[in-house]
Amino acid sequence: MRSSPLGLTVLSLLHMRPLHPYGIQRLIKQWGKDQVVNVSQRASLYRTIDRLLDAGLIAVRETSRDQQYPERTVYEVTDPGRTATREWLREMLAASRTEYPEFPAALSFAMMLLPREVEADLSARAGQVRAQLAELESAAEGARELSLPRVTMLEDEYRRAVLTAELDWLDAVTADLRSGALTWDFEALAALAQAST
CATH number, span 5-94:
1.10.10.10
Q: How confident is the model at residue 52 (pLDDT cuts 50, 70, 90)?
A: very high
Tell me, what's the pLDDT at 21? 93
- Average pLDDT over every residue of 91-106: 91
**Three-state secondary-structure class, residue 113:** coil
> Residue ranges of the domains in the chain?
5-94, 102-195
pLDDT above 70 as % of the chain: 99
Q: In this predicted structure, which of 26-30, 60-64, 192-196 has the lowest mean pLDDT?
A: 192-196
Angle at 164 between CA 160 and CA 165, to 5 degrees: 120
Tell me, what's the pLDDT at 143? 85
Alpha-helical (H) ranges within 55-185 are 79-94, 102-107, 115-145, 154-179
Q: Is the pTM of this model over 0.75?
A: yes
For residue 74, list its beta bridge partners: 62
